[in-house]
Structure 1
Amino acid sequence: MSEKALSAVEAELYDRQIRLWGIESQEKLRAANVLLINCRQLGCEIAKNILLSGINSLTILDDAVVTEEDEIRNFFLSSDAIGKKLAEAVLQKAQSLNPLVKLTADTQNPSEKDVEFYKSFTIIITTIIKTDLLLKLDKICRSNNVKLISGDVFGMFGFSVADFLKHDYYEDRVQMLGKKRSHDGSEKSTVQVEGLIEYPELNKVLIFPNTKQSVEAIKKTRRRNELFFLMLVLLEFRNENARNPEITSKEEDIQKLKIIKNSIVELYKVKENVFEDALFELIFGEVVPVCAILGGVIAQEVIKAVSHKEVPINNIFLLDPVTYNGKEECIGA
């Protein structure tokens, strides 16, 4: 990727964040071409944050038609958008956040896109897609050096999973100069520390019943948060039903979730109460404040992945639906 030098207008617009993460990181962001698959409640939060960061281009790929619920929860939409293609309807308000970013709408079904389409991006962000498409995308990304992050919100629960390939980064660390004060009274200096994280491919992270992939590596992981298994149950529900659990069929869907939970427990050989069934009461809908939190986290990880500054999450982020604490898990490595 070739970084683009910032213009005087860009340097002025992005002055505050350049002070935060440096002009070198901002130039990397300025060269980044980002694809966002699906721009619903979580997607619009992600889009807002990465548009403001100053990327080169954002393509929104979404074949949905705007519903009344979308219009209420998506701040990029107005009442006259109902019935229109969502990807096109969000453009005007999204573009107003940052006129310097090239913003494009694509209304084709993501599963119908060919490999060439996906190869042109620096990083791909997905929300609300089935796992088979996500794993297919991950293979394409790995073959073409494109980074990938996926996230979802189920009620009060949110998570993200990333494959940033072989990711090198640097971070600024403060180091003490010693006991003796320097001439200006300072006892500290800042140094750059380099690091490297090798992310596992997602078919070693997201493994479900009735697949040929082995779970032995994950079973050997010493610390597996209970919410990791909740994430698998919810993703498998979508895989089997082509939708998320819905409040209109709450009781029926909870029974389906319990059956899937039992199959996950059997696959991973964990205790039956690996998480309490009461959590199923908290996973309906896309709760807007949760979307805002997770959207900020995912956008932050995109900025880290593109700029190569600061340590990214390796490789799963879990937002606890009870305590609202964020937890990082390394799975499949």
Structure 2
Amino acid sequence: MEHKITEDEAALYDRQIRLWGLEAQHRMRNASILIAGMRALSNEVCKNIILAGVGSITLLEDEVVTEEDLGAQFLVRKEDVGRNRAEVAAENARHLNPRVKVVVDQDDIAQKPDSFFTGFNIVCLTGCDPGQMDRIDNICRGTKTGLYIAGVHGFFGYIFCDLTKHEYREETQETVTERGKEPETTITQRSQNYASLADTMEARWGYPKPKALKRKVSPLLFAIQALWLFQKAHNGRLPQSSNQGDLDAMLKFRDERLKSAQVDGAFVDDDLIKTLVATVSAEISPVCAIVGGFLAQDILKTLSGKDAPLLNYFLYNGTEGTGLVHHVQKTEA
């Protein structure tokens, strides 16, 4: 059932309505979002989109709160250890904005049928197994359901966006040279095609010079993709910092990905891979806040239909304090 914005809600979301317009706020108010995986990053995303006034949000998680979760997850408390993460997060998230419906789902994402994911406007996967990432991306592309995949590994974070084909409005204002004349706003309807996750893993750059390549893509992209290759080869698990064999495997997958991408092998140095492996299981609150804030804002932008969303990777390197957006797509040999 479609929910119409009340006068009270219009007053509550006044600033957002001034920014996006009433029609965009109406779309957000009727949107249904899935957040799969409850960790520090998804805590940030939930907070921001719930405060923005979306219609409903479903939290999908089958694991329980552990002592390690207490360091960065602000939606859980010490007394919640042993309880389901989604259940606990939902209890605290509802206090942020009682107008938003928060649903708890404690099932294993791997057991969910394809039809489950097509019942949402946006699907957001955090900390998900790469095999499931590919599977769910294919499902969402089949029904043009918006998909975001994100993760934080210590000092590093990433977001991948696949909206299949997204239509949005772009507003431009003319330059005013006459005193007293009001600028005219022109609204242009645009559309953008998105590559699948699998296609971005096959992108090639044709061996450009390192300086030219750095303007196109961050070395962190290949480090993250090497991590995904490692997980696929090891039943989804993350590399262990104490295991020299895991580090050697990560370096091997890095080399393989750089070769297939037609990128010089020196573009991603060993130190980046070593730092990623050393902190891969850590959740650092400031990194989660930065990546989660960017992710939530882009989800809202997609729902609003105003201006272009992320196309299609955001890569955050906390050791350098850089956050870069790159358009990665499959290229011919």
- Aligned: 1:229 with 2:226: no
CA-to-partner distance for each residue in 1:175-207, whole Å, 9 max, x for gaps? 213x322xxx346333323321111122211x3
Match of 2:290 in 1: 293
Match of 1:102 in 2: 101
- Aligned: 1:180 with 2:174: no
The counterpart of 2:186, out of the listed 169, 177, 191, is: 191
Alpha-carbon separation, structure 2, partners of 1:129 and 1:204: 18
Alpha-carbon separation, structure 2, partners of 1:321 and 1:274: 18
Alpha-carbon separation, structure 2, partners of 1:13 and 1:253: 51
Equivalences for 1:27-106 in 2 at 5 Å? 27-106=26-105
Moved more, 304-313 or 254-263: 254-263
- 1:237/1:286 CA distance change after superposition, 3 Å: farther
One-letter amino acid of the structure 2 residue matched with residue 318 of structure 1: L
Alpha-carbon separation, structure 2, partners of 1:133 and 1:57: 23
Secondary structure, counterpart of 1:322 in structure 2: coil
Alpha-carbon separation, structure 1, partners of 2:106 and 2:117: 15
State percent identity of aligned pairs: 32
The counterpart of 1:254, out of the listed 234, 247, 252, is: 247
One-letter amino acid of the structure 2 residue matched with residue 197 of structure 1: Q
Alpha-carbon separation, structure 1, partners of 2:153 and 2:254: 16
The answer (yes or no) to whether the contact 2:31–2:56 under 8 Å persists in 1 is yes
The answer (yes or no) to whether the contact 2:144–2:165 under 8 Å persists in 1 is no
Instruction: Tell me the matched-pair count.
Output: 318
Moved more, 65-74 or 254-263: 254-263
Match of 1:202 in 2: 197
CA-to-partner distance for each residue in 1:287-311, whole Å, 9 max, x for gaps? 1111100001111111111111111
CA-to-partner distance for each residue in 1:103-151, whole Å, 9 max, x for gaps? 0111111010012211210010001112221111111111222110101
Match of 1:274 in 2: 267
Moved more, 280-289 or 2-11: 2-11
The answer (yes or no) to whether the contact 1:59–1:106 under 8 Å persists in 2 is yes
- 1:218/1:308 CA distance change after superposition, 3 Å: farther
- 1:9/1:187 CA distance change after superposition, 3 Å: closer
- 1:189/1:282 CA distance change after superposition, 3 Å: farther
Alpha-carbon separation, structure 2, partners of 1:173 and 1:325: 29
Alpha-carbon separation, structure 2, partners of 1:201 and 1:80: 41
Alpha-carbon separation, structure 2, partners of 1:175 and 1:56: 35
TM-score w.r.t. structure 2 length?
0.89
**Cα offset for 1:91?**
1.3
The answer (yes or no) to whether the contact 1:176–1:187 under 8 Å persists in 2 is no
Equivalences for 1:238-253 in 2 at 5 Å? 238-241=231-234, 242-247=236-241, 249=242, 251-253=244-246
The answer (yes or no) to whether the contact 1:52–1:98 under 8 Å persists in 2 is yes
One-letter amino acid of the structure 1 residue matched with residue 72 of structure 2: R
Match of 1:218 in 2: 204
One-letter amino acid of the structure 1 residue matched with residue 237 of structure 2: R
Moved more, 220-229 or 7-16: 220-229
Alpha-carbon separation, structure 2, partners of 1:173 and 1:15: 22
The answer (yes or no) to whether the contact 1:127–1:151 under 8 Å persists in 2 is yes
Alpha-carbon separation, structure 1, partners of 2:319 and 2:189: 36
Alpha-carbon separation, structure 2, partners of 1:250 and 1:173: 54
Match of 1:212 in 2: none
The counterpart of 2:311, out of the listed 303, 311, 314, is: 314
**Cα offset for 1:161?**
0.7
**Cα offset for 1:55?**
0.7
Moved more, 298-307 or 258-267: 258-267
The answer (yes or no) to whether the contact 1:29–1:306 under 8 Å persists in 2 is yes
**Cα offset for 1:226?**
1.9
The answer (yes or no) to whether the contact 2:37–2:125 under 8 Å persists in 1 is yes
**Cα offset for 1:174?**
2.5
The answer (yes or no) to whether the contact 1:157–1:282 under 8 Å persists in 2 is no
The answer (yes or no) to whether the contact 1:67–1:82 under 8 Å persists in 2 is yes
Moved more, 227-236 or 43-52: 227-236
Secondary structure, counterpart of 2:136 in structure 1: helix
One-letter amino acid of the structure 2 residue matched with residue 180 of structure 1: E
The answer (yes or no) to whether the contact 2:217–2:326 under 8 Å persists in 1 is yes
| Coordinate RMSD, CA, aligned | 2.0
